[in-house]
Structure 1
Amino acid sequence: MDLPDRVRVREVGPRDGFQNEPEAIPTPDKIRLIDALARTGLRRVEVGSFVRADVIPQLADGAEVLAGISIPDGVDVAVLVPNQRGWEAALPHKERFDEVIVFLSASETHNQKNINRPIADSLKTVEALLPQIAEAGLRPLASIATSFGCPYEGHVDPERVIELARAMAAAGAREISFGDTTGMANPRQVRAFYERALDELPDVELTAHFHNTRGQGLANALAALEAGVTSFESSFGELGGCPVPPGSTGNIATEDLISMLHEMGVDTGVDLAALLEASRDVQRVLGRPLGSHLLTAGPVQWHDA
Structure 2
Amino acid sequence: MKKVKLIECPRDAMQGIKSHFISTESKAQYINALLRVGFDTIDFGSFVSPKAIPQMRDTVEVLSKLDLSKTESKLLAIVANIRGAEEASKFEEITYLGYPFSISENFQMRNTSKTIAESIEILNEILNIATKTNKEVVAYLSMGFGNPYGDPWNVEIVSNWTDKLSKMGVKILSLSDTVGSSTPKIIDYLFSNLIPAYPTIEFGAHLHTTPTSWFEKVDAAYKAGCNRFDGAIMGYGGCPMAKDDLTGNMPTEKLVSYFNQQKATTNINAMSFESAYNEALKIFL
TM-score range, shorter chain: over 0.9
Matched, 1:64 2:56: no
Where does 1:152-163 land on structure 2 (aligned, <5 Å)?
152-153=149-150, 156-163=153-160
Residue-by-residue CA offset, 1:233-284 (whole Å, 9 max, x unaligned): 1111211111324545321111111111102211211023422331232222
Matched, 1:35 2:32: yes
TM-score by length of 2: 0.93
Report the equivalent of 1:189. 186
Report the equivalent of 1:118. 115
Percent identical among aligned pairs is: 27
Residue-by-residue CA offset, 1:129-164 (whole Å, 9 max, x unaligned): 112112211112211111001222277212222222
Report the equivalent of 1:11. 8
Aligned alpha-carbon RMSD (Å): 1.7
Amino acid at match of 1:148: F
Q: Aligned equivalents of 2:71 and 2:263: distance in 1?
A: 26
Q: Aligned equivalents of 1:185 and 1:24: distance in 2?
A: 32
Whether contact under 8 Å (2:89, 2:135) holds in the other structure is no
Matched, 1:137 2:134: yes
Where does 1:92-103 land on structure 2 (aligned, <5 Å)?
92=90, 94-103=91-100
- CA separation of 1:44 and 1:220: change in aligned 2, threshold 3 A: same
Please list every run of 5 or more consecutive structure 1 residues that lacks an aligned counterpart in the other structure.
288-305
Q: How many residues align?
A: 282
Whether contact under 8 Å (1:127, 1:168) holds in the other structure is no
Q: Aligned equivalents of 2:98 and 2:283: distance in 1?
A: 27
SS at match of 1:166: helix
SS at match of 1:135: helix
Report the equivalent of 1:254. 252
Q: Aligned equivalents of 2:138 and 2:93: distance in 1?
A: 17
Whether contact under 8 Å (1:148, 1:179) holds in the other structure is yes
Report the equivalent of 1:167. 164
Q: Aligned equivalents of 1:217 and 1:150: distance in 2?
A: 19
Deviation at 1:127, TM superposition (A): 1.5
Matched, 1:220 2:217: yes
Where does 1:209-288 land on structure 2 (aligned, <5 Å)?
209-213=206-210, 215-245=212-242, 247=244, 249-287=247-285
Q: Choose from 76, 79, 84 the match for 2:77.
A: 79
Q: Aligned equivalents of 1:151 and 1:30: distance in 2?
A: 33
- CA separation of 1:276 and 1:73: change in aligned 2, threshold 3 A: closer
Report the equivalent of 1:296. none
Q: Aligned equivalents of 2:71 and 2:212: distance in 1?
A: 36
Report the equivalent of 2:173. 176
Q: Aligned equivalents of 2:139 and 2:232: distance in 1?
A: 18
SS at match of 1:190: helix
Deviation at 1:107, TM superposition (A): 1.2
